[in-house]
Structure 1
Amino acid sequence: MQAIYKDFLIRDWSQSDRNLVAAVIGSVLAEYSLDWEPLGADRDVLEVENYYLATGGEFWVVESQGQVVGTAGYYPFHRGETAVEIRKMYLLSQARKLGLGRFLLQELEKAIAAKGFQQIWIETASVLVEAIKLYESSGYQPATGVETARCDRIYVKNL
């Protein structure tokens, strides 16, 4: 993956991004008073190769002027043969309110559809108000079955 949105570069994750990506996600979580869970909900960030790349998913990094300012990824998961979960879609505050989140979500949906997946799930927390507005305005429907402790909402969209 490589895409440009305004002054942002969206590209595939590389091993040298591991600590930078963890710092960005930890920072956004802290901003919303959510805990960084390296042995739990955030283990996938430290093991991108196993969770995303080895399973047929993708993990992307968003850069602005050479600095990592965001992340987004997805991988297949157990809710069906053709289902994926979008995970770790986080942007630092300076990268928000510019349409980047919507662009990222649309690019994820295109990549997911191109691989033949038919259903997308997203777990989130009520405090992530901007994310919830984005998902709901993009056709995601509330569902049940939240599995991540810090999340209290789950959405699904059929492609």
Structure 2
Amino acid sequence: MNKTYQGWGRMRVPHYLIRDWQESDRTAAADVIREVLQEYGLPWQPEEADRDVIAVEAAYLAIGGEFWVVEFEGRIVGTAAYYPIERGNKAVEIRKMYLQPQVRGQGLGKYLLQQLEIIIGYKGYQEIWIETASVLKEAVQLYENNGYQRTTGVETKRCDRLYVKRL
């Protein structure tokens, strides 16, 4: 990471391209999130919990957050994002970290989480918060295995777990 970090840009991970979200990604990124939620029996809520995916520019980019997409063979197969929040001390919330089933189990989720943490720390944030649902067992395991501590205060209706990690 250099001292003039301006954003994620593009990075190749073997077989994957992780890059900043572009306006042309709106539908494909939303489709990935909707499909994964439905896979786990969770509702797609474009007017509530998922409105940020429809309005990435306002929900993330305009307030200092980032939204990334993961491509495999030219197709979007995953997403990961964060934005600053009022909760905590110099805090962000990681959101919309979803991977389609065919790309899970290869360490990509852990890699995305580590890269988010590096960039969040580089930007001077001190806490990372994550809300999730216990049915997302892989996500729960990922967070717990990477130093996130369970806490209280869930704000999103479909979520029942809240985690925090201090950097």
Instruction: Give distance in 1, aligned partners of 2:74 and 2:21.
Output: 14
Aligned-residue RMSD, C-alpha? 0.7
2: distance between equivalents of 1:5 and 1:99? 11
Provide the residue aligned with 1:121 in structure 2: 129
Which of 134, 139, 145 aligns to 2:147? It is 139
SS in structure 1 of the partner of residue 165 of structure 2: strand
Are the equivalent residues in 1 in contact too, given 2:89–2:127 (CA < 8 A)? Answer: no
Deviations 1:7-49 (A, max 9, x none): 0110000000000011010000000000000000000000000
Match of 1:39, SS state, is coil
Determine what percentage of the aligned residue pairs are the same residue.
62
Letter in 1 for 2:97: M
Paired residues in the alignment total 159
Deviation at residue 84 of structure 1 after TM alignment: 0.2
Report what 2:35 is aligned to: 27
1:158 has 2:163 as partner? no
Q: Hey, which bits of structure 1, 4+ residues long, moved more than 2 A?
A: none
Equivalent residue for 2:105, pick from 92, 97, 121: 97
CA shift digits 1:39-73 (9 cap, x unpaired): 00000000000110011010000000000000000
Shift of 1:81: 4.9
CA change 1:141–1:81 in 2 (3 A) is: closer
Higher deviation after alignment, 75-84 or 119-128: 75-84
**1:39 matched to 2:47:** yes
What residue ranges of structure 2 are gaps of 5+ in the alignment? 1-7
Tell me, which stretches of 5 or more residues in structure 1 are unaligned? none
Residue aligning to 2:5? none
Q: TM-score, with normalisation over the residues of structure 2?
A: 0.94
**Cα separation, 2, equivalents of 1:88 and 1:31:** 15
**1:55 maps to which residue?**
63
Letter in 1 for 2:76: V
TM-score in terms of structure 1 length = 0.98
Instruction: Confirm or deny: 8 A CA contact 2:80 2:96 kept in the other structure.
Output: yes
Residues 5 and 103, structure 1, Cα contact 8 Å, conserved in 2: no
